[in-house]
Amino acid sequence: MSIEFSGKSAFNHETFGITFEAIVDGNRVLCQINMEVLQDIDPSNAMNEPMEQFKANEYLFQEIAEALILGGKVQNGQIFISSNDINT
């Protein structure tokens, strides 16, 4: 399985979190992070803007996303990273 991260990310106005993109075997997978997860991964960054929080921890989010993708958690072209995922 080939997993690459495109570097594309955006603020999600519905969840106040971040959406970033993975390319899995040539197919686009949207990776969703909500505000709670952004704050849980690095509490020292909790007062920063969501995109700043994401960029400060982007590599960790990519690692988590890769594990979820490899674990078969993609549904309808998306994965949702939860607080439980950052604690495992």
Check residue 60 and report its DSSP letter: H
Instruction: Outline where the chain has alpha helix (H).
Output: 35-41, 50-56, 58-70, 83-86
Tokens of 70: 């490899």
Q: Given this model, what pLDDT does residue 87 score?
A: 73
- Global pTM value: 0.92
Q: Where are the domains of the chain?
A: 34-81
pLDDT tens digits in sequence order for the chain, 88 residues long: 999 999 999 999 888 899 999 999 999 999 999 989 998 998 888 889 999 999 999 999 999 999 999 999 999 999 999 999 987 5
The neighbouring-strand residues paired with 58 are none
